């Protein structure tokens, strides 16, 4: 019997450092629809490897949003076929997007913090207790005694800040804050980074939010809010894709609400549902019952039908979970 | 010539600790319209003083919002006339609100981080480099070797988080993050605290935001946004006072905008103006020109007239500042 190549060889941080020192030419892959953590980790690793004389290129399947320009840098041109391939913050090879075809089965090392990592890479350094992959990259560069330049420090701060909602979420640990305090010693501007990442909204997004708030429906004694983004709203405002991520955030922030539903139209009769719940509700159970999946507090599904049908389907699923979990007698503060 | 009693005797942190140890009965005053930092500092100091056998009462001129219930505790009944009076996070005696009459000239010690502190107290410990007064209280309790219980730790975390926008603003230093990392060693739930402080919006506020977004006006090549909250909107939604603070935040977060104006109706023909600006604009100069004042990035004024007149007045003032500062050729990212 052959050993499946979908089981990674798990490395320690020290072995990961040794691995990087041993090789000279690297392709660093980020996940598609790139966020602050995958880009921060990719570029921080790039800057670190350059400091010790290596050749490296950062590659992403999608266009990198301009807001990351302050740390995104031109990387090296290399012969990809001869390079050592590293994936950062990539939990499954499918998340490489269009790079999956070329690189999916050729990743030599994956550095990640997702407990759900599918172990698709030959070698894996996984620390699920890290708030962000950037936390790991910082520790790695520190362990390797590599000079952290201001680009690397900005990139690492960005990844940690974006994956923790600026130190707001439950994935933050004492170590996260210790690393942040050390990053302040470098030439970075955290307040400016946070302004770009958290406090800058496009005018079109503000307009979309206004429209979405107009659609707000409350259900089940106001314990559930439902927000909808129709194709028409997307056309009218010019918002799409990652512009729409903030809508789910609104749905989870209303006082007394334990089930936040946001519905985004993705096709003629196709909708993407995002669920955000608080105990005792279970977003993953609700999502599963309509063909999706996810975590206990955040899950999603893609469903077909008219908006009216889709609303009914998800509201029925929420109601069932409320009844099963006795949510009628409990609610979050 | 008498020495004015409006000049405080400035203490070191060590002298402040000594002062607290020397006395036994304390009244701790917070500022009116209490926020997370003044309450956090007041209650953390209360918990700390209790740990070393002192008697202390925390007093605030206004009702303490329920959201702080997780660290607000019943304090001691004491004879106020015989107690040592401490003010925390109180920059001027007027900020004591209705307590100013009784206590304004009787504050024995003020612990504060506002550079603008008017030195109204007999003794003052001022650290303007601290992100929050709670940062100072943590250092003080640590220096005094006082046990920090979970109530004190929650209170201190709250003050630091709320005064820094959860570690987002430019007042955060390496020390702020080091203190945060130490607070994680205590029995506190930072994610839950942050949810209560930052991610909980009342339904009425969501409704108000929808209405306010409907009023959004853009001026001067979209470099300026103007939002208005009329008396009618406040009546319709039931929002008032501190509910309205978030509106100025919206005005400063729109991409490309360097002048965010929010206008709140406070009387029949009276409006409170909040200004949020980015370089090269100067909010304090704009505010001053219409009879108000404040800081370079955030300032305000109260003006009289119809909404139309008030809008014209503030827009003219912004235009003047734009012209004087050559804002036409520069803008924030």
Least Cα separation, residue A182 to chain B (angstroms): 7
DSSP B92-104: SGGGGGGGHHHHT
Residue of B71, B194, B237 to mutate, interface with A, max A Cβ within 10 Å: B194
CA distance A130 to A16: 16
CA distance B214 to A210: 7
Cβ atoms of residues A287 and A293 within 8 Å: yes
What part of A 13-52 touches B (C-beta under 8 Å)?
Answer: none
Segment holding B84, helix H or strand E? strand B84-88
CA dihedral B165, B167, B168, B171 (to 10 degrees): 90
- Choose among B178, B209, B216: nearest Cβ to A213: B209
Q: Tell whether B175 lies on the interface with A, counting CB pairs under 8 A.
A: yes
Cβ atoms of residues A140 and A153 within 8 Å: no
* Contacting residues of A for B203, CB less than 8 Å apart: 218, 222, 254-256
Query: Per the CB < 8 Å rule, is A254 touching B169?
Result: no
Q: Is B183 exposed, middle or buried (0-12, 13-18, 19+ CB in 10 A)?
A: buried
Burial A161-193 (b: 16+ CB within 10 A, else e): bbbbbbbbbebbbebbbbbbbbbbeeebebbeb
Q: What pLDDT is recorded for position A333?
A: 36
Q: What pLDDT is recorded for position A295?
A: 79
Residue of A255, A260, A278, A279 to mutate, interface with B, max B Cβ within 10 Å: A255
- Choose among B177, B185, B201: nearest Cβ to A181: B177
Taking the whole predicted model, whether its pTM rises above 0.90 is answered as no
Q: Tell whether B298 lies on the interface with A, counting CB pairs under 8 A.
A: no
The one-digit pLDDT tens for each residue of chain A (333 residues) are 444 456 899 999 999 999 999 999 999 999 998 999 999 999 999 999 999 999 999 999 999 999 999 999 999 999 999 999 999 999 999 999 999 999 999 999 999 999 889 999 999 999 999 999 999 999 999 999 999 999 999 999 999 999 999 999 989 999 999 999 999 999 999 999 999 998 888 889 989 999 999 889 999 999 999 999 999 999 999 998 777 878 888 888 898 899 999 999 999 999 999 999 988 999 989 999 999 887 788 888 999 999 999 999 999 999 999 999 987 644 443
Q: What pLDDT is recorded for position A24?
A: 97
CA distance B134 to B163: 9
The predicted complex's ipTM stands at 0.86
Q: What pLDDT is recorded for position A328?
A: 60
* Contacting residues of A for B201, CB less than 8 Å apart: 253-255
**Phi, psi of B131, deg, nearest 5:** -65, -25
What are the strands of the beta sheet with A25-29, ordered from one edge? A9-10, A123-126, A109-112, A84-88, A25-29, A55-59
Cβ atoms of residues B318 and B301 within 8 Å: no
* Contacting residues of B for A206, CB less than 8 Å apart: 213, 216, 250, 254
* Contacting residues of B for A333, CB less than 8 Å apart: 196, 200
CA distance B246 to B63: 20
Q: Tell whether A196 lies on the interface with B, counting CB pairs under 8 A.
A: yes
Segment holding B180, helix H or strand E? helix B174-183
């Amino acid at each position: 019997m052959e050993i499946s190549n979908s089981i990674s060889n798990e490395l320690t941080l020290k072995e990961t450092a040794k691995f990087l020192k041993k090789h000279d030419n690297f392709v660093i892959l980020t996940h598609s629809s790139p966020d602050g953590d995958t880009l921060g980790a990719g570029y921080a690793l790039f800057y670190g490897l350059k400091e010790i004389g290596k050749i490296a290129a950062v590659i992403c399947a999608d266009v990198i949003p301009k807001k990351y320009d302050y740390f995104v840098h031109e990387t090296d041109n290399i012969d990809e076929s001869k390079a050592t391939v590293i994936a950062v913050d990539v939990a499954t090879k499918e998340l490489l997007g269009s790079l999956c075809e070329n690189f999916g089965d050729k990743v030599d090392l994956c550095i990640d913090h997702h407990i759900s990592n599918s172990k698709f890479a030959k070698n894996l350094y996984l620390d699920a207790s890290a708030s962000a992959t950037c936390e790991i990259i910082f520790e790695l560069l520190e362990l390797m005694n590599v000079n952290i330049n201001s680009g690397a420090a900005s990139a690492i701060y960005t990844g940690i800040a974006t994956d923790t909602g600026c130190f707001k979420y439950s994935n933050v640990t004492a170590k996260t804050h210790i690393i942040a305090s050390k990053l302040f010693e470098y030439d970075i501007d955290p307040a400016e980074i946070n302004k770009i990442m958290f406090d800058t909204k496009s005018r079109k997004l503000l307009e979309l939010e206004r429209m979405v708030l107009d659609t707000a429906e409350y259900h089940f004694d106001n314990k559930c809010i439902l927000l909808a983004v129709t194709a028409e709203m997307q056309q009218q405002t010019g918002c799409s894709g990652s512009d729409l991520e903030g809508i789910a955030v609104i749905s989870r922030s209303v006082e007394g609400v334990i089930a936040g539903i946001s519905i985004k139209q993705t096709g003629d009769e196709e909708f993407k549902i995002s669920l955000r719940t608080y105990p005792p509700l279970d977003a993953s159970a609700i999502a599963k019952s309509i063909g999706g999946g996810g975590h206990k507090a955040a899950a999603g599904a893609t469903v077909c039908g008219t908006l009216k049908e889709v609303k009914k389907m998800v509201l029925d699923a929420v109601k069932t979970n409320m009844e099963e979990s006795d949510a009628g007698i409990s609610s979050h503060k």
